[in-house]
Amino acid sequence: MQKILVARPIFPDVIERLKQYFEVDWNNGDVLSAEELTRRLADKDGALTAGDPVGAAVLAAAPRLRVVSNMAVGYNNFDIAAFNAANVLGTNTPDVLNESTADFGWALMMAAARRVAESEHWLRAGQWQKWAYDAFLGSDVYGSTLGVIGMGRIGQALARRARGFNMQVIYHNRSRVAPEIEAELNAQYVSKAELLKRADHVVLVLPYTRDNHHTIGAAELAQMKPTATLTNIARGGIVDDAALVDALRAGQIAAAGLDVYEGEPNLNPALLTVPNIVLTPHIASATEATRRAMANLAADNLIAALGEGPNAGRPANPVNPEVLGKARA
């Protein structure tokens, strides 16, 4: 029987599914260190991860490893060049989290715009003594301009929600989406500079790559309206968190909402000192239905990639399909 490692705690019923096909080594505790992950992968044929870094050194120490199934859409934790060199397949879990993530992005944007977290902290601290006309004045969402950077599946889901708020939608993407999608979303393609200048609410939904590192830094924040908000539900590293703190303190933008951070779960401690920011711990896809769908899709990908189950040899979501069918190098 083939051996797999499940590197993170997931739903026990998904583990039981995997046990029908494999000998399962399940880490149901704290996140594995790099050394422990490498040790436990040494005799494995496959792995199910959730953001655990897998690069050339890990692959070299695991000569039997043929597939790593990531329980996430993003896979910047994979060194794809090393995967391709070793003929190791990586998979991910797109689509099943589009709507719940878009819901959360909308909630985070609105919380930032209407100063929900800031005013709640003030209330809990016992500061509310009277009503005041100018207390916690925020920004309107209805009738404003939404700027989406990254018009993939989740970006499009966000843009669809804008119709109910009578918003103008502008977007920037690596490539322009099809005309019929633009028409459906009533969305206008613009340069990044124009988007930053015009948008009342900027939402980031692009994958993390080396080229996308600090897509939003000091220069970009300086181009935004002082009344604008910035929401990041994409990946840490897309925003220069230190520059964002400076911009918020200086009033260059009005507010921000972050669900992801550079170096998470560690984060820049200065973020905790800024009142006009909403901070959540990478939970945009955190509904039970969505997380179950992600776990089951990751399991399906692993089962199929290792030649088991009804879709043997045909995993639904390969991120480097060019290695399919190749022997481990």
Dihedral pair phi/psi, residue 232, rounded to 5°: -120, 110
Q: How far apart are CA 256 and CA 276, in angstroms?
A: 7
Asked whether residue 271 falls in the same domain as residue 125, the answer is yes
Domain that holds residue 150: 98-279
Question: What DSSP string runs through 203-250?
Answer: EE-----TTTTTSB-HHHHHHS-TT-EEEE-S-TTSB-HHHHHHHHHH
Residues of the chain under the 70 pLDDT cut: none
pLDDT at position 329, please?
86
Q: How far apart are CA 322 and CA 318, in angstroms?
A: 9
327 belongs to a structural domain: no
For 108-162, how does the pLDDT look when each residue is reduced to its tens digit (9 = 90+)? 999 999 999 999 999 999 999 999 999 999 999 999 999 999 999 999 999 999 9
The catalytic residue positions are 235, 264, 282
Asked whether residue 232 falls in the same domain as residue 260, the answer is yes
Asked whether residue 92 falls in the same domain as residue 103, the answer is no
Task: State both tokens at 124.
Answer: 């809990």
Nearest to 11 by CA among 282, 299, 301: 299
Asked whether residue 19 falls in the same domain as residue 80, the answer is yes
329 belongs to a structural domain: no
Asked whether residue 8 falls in the same domain as residue 38, the answer is yes
Asked whether residue 208 falls in the same domain as residue 73, the answer is no
Task: Find the CATH number of the domain harbouring 129.
Answer: 3.40.50.720
Q: Are strands 168-172 and 187-189 parallel, antiparallel or unpaired?
A: parallel
Distance of CA 278 to the CA centre of its chain: 16
Total domain count for the chain? 2
Q: How far apart are CA 109 and CA 306, in angstroms?
A: 41
Burial of residue 175, with CB atoms counted within 10 A of its CB: 0-12 exposed, 13-18 middle, 19 or more buried: exposed
Asked whether residue 124 falls in the same domain as residue 193, the answer is yes
55 belongs to a structural domain: yes
328 belongs to a structural domain: no
Asked whether residue 104 falls in the same domain as residue 253, the answer is yes
Q: How far apart are CA 124 and CA 116, in angstroms?
A: 12
The model's pTM: 0.93
pLDDT at position 279, please?
98
pLDDT at position 1, please?
95
Asked whether residue 81 falls in the same domain as residue 30, the answer is yes
pLDDT at position 138, please?
97
C-alpha torsion sign, points 146, 148, 154, 159: positive
Question: Do 46 and 70 contact (CB within 8 A), yes or no?
Answer: no
Asked whether residue 243 falls in the same domain as residue 317, the answer is no
Task: State both tokens at 95.
Answer: 């689509």
Number of Cβ within 10 Å of residue 11's Cβ equals: 14
Asked whether residue 169 falls in the same domain as residue 237, the answer is yes
Asked whether residue 190 falls in the same domain as residue 168, the answer is yes
